[in-house]
Amino acid sequence: MSRIAVLVPGKIHERVLTRLRESFDVIQTDPVALDAQAAGRIRGVAVSGTFNAAAIDSLPNVELIASFGVGYDGVNAKHAATKGVIVTNTPDVLNDEVADTAIGLLLNTIRELPRAENWLRAGNWKPGQNYPLSRFSLKGRHVGIYGLGRIGQEIARRLEPFKVKISYHTRTRHADAPYGYYPSLKDLAEAVDTLISIVPKTPQTHRTINAEILSALGPDGVFINVGRGWTVDEDALAAALKSGTIGAAGLDVFYDEPDVPASLLDLPNAVLLPHLASGSVPTRNAMADLVVDNLIGWFQNGKPLTPVPETPVKA
């Protein structure tokens, strides 16, 4: 496989590059910078981020595009499918890490743990001077999960020992899910006091967390997002937090990363993280391995490990 050329168009996890170089001829550049001969050599792509239709069209002999991440909205998978090009992603290997982060973010938001630590570090803990009681508790809450896919199910399983009520909304009801189902997001928001969003970036999920949904969640409501910033109307969220329409929010993702609106940064009832849900060394290494193993699997035996649903070839 040393003669097979794989394009890496931009930054990617170093482990991907290290492993690719063991088996492939790695070319690191933007596809538009390739001349016709070089473009014709490319049979695989390893990408973290965007790879659009024009980039696909510029590589006449590309067979597989391996995307780093479970979300692959940056890769035009539908266009790739029309050209017989396989697209893969890295599902499952990050489910546990993201679910763990969701629970940690939920606890931090409800119990104000980051604020309490900052209060202590600032030297405020003195005899007779204690941090104020947190307004909220996880005890007795009704948690709604918006998106009960692989990660959503892991979040739900982690919530069970906390003895909270769990419900969910997805486009299609899961017949085997032991949780309450609501046919619309608004119905779910009206029923629960805690809403966790873990839906992908699709046209159907664009800014679905809006003023109407936040108002339905209510003044004791807590909103957590470990899915996509695309899902949230951030102006409406900032206004809801500031006015007390909802009680608090914990966010790991934002609409225009890495830009975080000042209207959210200035709020004391928002816990904000820099999109780190899957950001541990073991998990990112596993994601990197899956990117490379998809390429090896295809070129070695014609079997990609984790093709996306739009792809013309199944695992």
The catalytic residues are: 228, 257, 275
Residue in the block written with tokens 């035996």: 301
Q: d(Cα 174, Cα 86) in Å, to the nearest integer?
A: 28
Q: Which of 12, 96, 32, 38 has its CA nearest to residue 289? A: 12
Question: Do 82 and 288 meet the contact criterion of CB atoms below 8 Å apart?
Answer: no
**Please, which residues have CB within 8 angstroms of residue 126's CB and are 6 or more apart in sequence?**
none
Which stretches within the chain are classed as H helix? 14-23, 36-41, 53-57, 77-82, 95-111, 113-121, 150-159, 185-191, 211-217, 234-243, 262-265, 281-301
Pairing type for strands 222-225 and 248-251 reads parallel
Cα 30 to Cα 13, 38, 59, distances in angstroms: 17, 12, 11
